[in-house]
Structures are given as structure tokens and as C-alpha cells.
Structure 1
Amino acid sequence: MAQNEERTCGRPTRTGKPCRVRISGSDVACGTHATDEDRAVAKAHRQGWSEGYKVGCESGASSSKLKIEWLERRVKELEQRIDEATRIYEVGGDQVVDVGGYAYRWRGGDHLKVGDRVLLPENYVSRMSSGPGPVVGVVTALGTTYRGALSSIIGRAPTAETEA
């Protein structure tokens, strides 16, 4: 029986003719002709349909969530493959490193490592935020996928041990 199907009660009236009151959904008879058992069956049917609908929605949402998580992992994996294929670690004999999301060249003799503190040249933004002069940055990654012109790191930044 379809949930929104409209039909007539059809139960015999006092005159013996079929009842023409419209009923829909889980009801099997109109309010006048329905027995307690009819009402209980209709109530159980409505409850079962409602619970089934709710479980179906939850299942669909869970399935969608799993699919989204899988797609996000796949995108991350593909981005990583592209990054690995296009990442450069050296330009013209200089090491290339990432400092705070920007790529720089390092001409020093010993290679930099992730976490090393370096002095970066002043630029328009650093002058406004930190004042004139070099700015201290931290190497966050080795290599870059950036293909434009790169500024050079001035030198290693003094550490607490070297300043003392």
C-alpha cells in the first residue's frame, strides 16, 4: 500500500452502501468504521514506515560521509603525487626551501633542515609588520613547486645559544 495513495473506506454503511469517505496512508477505514485493531495496525504501519525512513536517511548520510572521506583521501594522495613529481630542491646549485609558505634560495655551504631559523630579506609586507631590516623565519619544508623568481636567504638566524 503506497503511503500517499488516496482511496475510499468501502466499509458498509447503515444503508448497506459502501462508505465513500476518503482515506489515505496507513488507514484501512474511515474514523467511523475503523475498529481498534484497524487503528493499531495503521499506527504500527506509520511507526514502521517512519522508523524505516529515518534509518534509510541515516544510512544514506553515513554512506555519503564515507564517500566524501574516501574522495578527500584520494585528492590528498593525488596532490601529493603531483607535488612529488614537480617539486624542485635545487636551482642553479642553490638549495630551495619553504619558509612560511614562500620559497627561498639558500646559497650557504651546509644545507638547511626543516626547523632551522633563517634571516629573510626585507619586503614590503615585512617592513609594514616588523619594521625595516631582515626578518627571522623558520624553514617549514624542503623544496618547492613554485616556478617563479626566488629571493635569497640572507643567513642563519642567531639562536639563543649563539647569542649568549
Structure 2
Amino acid sequence: MTDQHNRTCGRRTRSGNPCKVRISGSDVACGTHATEQDKAVAEAHRRGWNEGYKSGSESSASYSRSRIERLEQRVKELEEQLDEAKRVYEIGGHQVVDVGGYAYRWRGSTPLEVGDRVLLPENYVSRMKNGPGPTLGVVSKLGTTYRGSLSDIVSRAPAADG
């Protein structure tokens, strides 16, 4: 089999010797010796190769995207399972909720629900952002996986005006 990248035309010259012009890729003869049919076949081969390469690249990219999506979904499912296995809803007999990504303890008699508005205790950051006093928050999740000390929710917030 001829090396596609290091070959010569080989067609007979006027002197009868083989042409020594280097050709590559889809070409079957040099520009001087190639017939219209040779040129058409070489162009069809190039076009087919390019289309095949493009199709293969697109197929590979599509497969990769699909695989990434499946893996991301699986990671999400496993994170949810781990979260649920570690999540606690009460600590010391008091409800625990997530407000803005932070866990708080609720000592009220009526349990909180997701979406309930609450007043959170002042802290260093809230004082800088909102001034002194409690800050409004919304319960985003019931329970927590956090195991450190918790601040108490001050109270339920007054109903929103609207």
C-alpha cells in the first residue's frame, strides 16, 4: 500500500519516465498529469472525507454532551440522597429551617413552612447591610445538614403588604 503522505505522481512524462512530483491526500496525479476525472474523484474524496470528519466530530460532541448531562443528573440525585440521609428537622425539640442558605432554630409553637416570612436576629453583616435590628428572611427549606450552633428566629414576620 502506498504511503498517502509521501508519494509521487508516477504518470509517464514525455520522456517516458515516471513523474516525480510529490502528491498527497486525495490526489491521484500531479496538476500536470491529472485528468478532469482524476480531479473530480479527488474532490469527491476530499468532500466525503470532510463531511465524514465533521459528522464524526458532531456525533462525538453530541455523545459527550449527553454523557455530561447524565452524569450531572446522577450527581444531583446522589447529592439529594446524601442530603436527605443527613438532614435533621428538629434539634433539642425545636424545628430547624433554612433561610437564605443558613440554618436557624424556631422555638415557636406553630411549625414554619417553606415560604413563611420570618425575622432573623441581627448579626454583624445584617447590621452593616440593613442597620440595627432583625432582618426579614423567607424559609427556603425545612431541616438542615448543618451541625454547628444555631441562632434562633426572632419571630414570624408580619404579613406582606400587597
Please state which band the TM-score falls in when normalised by the shorter chain.
Answer: over 0.9
Structure 1 segment 60-79 matched on structure 2, within 5 A: 60-79=60-79
Aligned to 2:88: 88
Deviations 1:73-117 (A, max 9, x none): 000000000000000100000100000110000011110000111
Task: Identify if the C-alpha distance between structure 1 residues 38 and 63 changes in structure 2 by more than 3 Å, giving closer, same or farther.
Answer: same
Query: Which aligned runs of 4 or more in structure 1 are off by greater than 3 angstroms?
Result: 1-4
> If the length of structure 2 is used for normalisation, what is the TM-score?
0.96
Aligned to 1:109: 109
Deviation at 1:160, TM superposition (A): 4.1
Runs of 5+ unmatched residues, structure 2: none
Structure 1 segment 12-161 matched on structure 2, within 5 A: 12-160=12-160
Aligned amino acid, residue 159 of structure 1: A
> If the length of structure 1 is used for normalisation, what is the TM-score?
0.94
SS in 1 for 2:115: coil
SS in 1 for 2:112: coil
Task: Identify if the C-alpha distance between structure 1 residues 109 and 90 changes in structure 2 by more than 3 Å, giving closer, same or farther.
Answer: same
- Contact kept, 8 Å, 1:2 with 1:25, in 2: the verdict is no
SS in 2 for 1:76: helix
Deviations 1:30-64 (A, max 9, x none): 11110000000000000000111011110000000
Report sequence identity in percent.
Answer: 71
SS in 2 for 1:18: coil
In the alignment, the residues of structure 2 paired with residue 116 and residue 20 of structure 1 have an alpha-carbon distance, to the nearest angstrom, of: 85
In the alignment, the residues of structure 1 paired with residue 10 and residue 134 of structure 2 have an alpha-carbon distance, to the nearest angstrom, of: 91
In the alignment, the residues of structure 2 paired with residue 3 and residue 154 of structure 1 have an alpha-carbon distance, to the nearest angstrom, of: 81
Deviation at 1:5, TM superposition (A): 2.1
Deviation at 1:136, TM superposition (A): 1.1
In the alignment, the residues of structure 2 paired with residue 3 and residue 114 of structure 1 have an alpha-carbon distance, to the nearest angstrom, of: 70
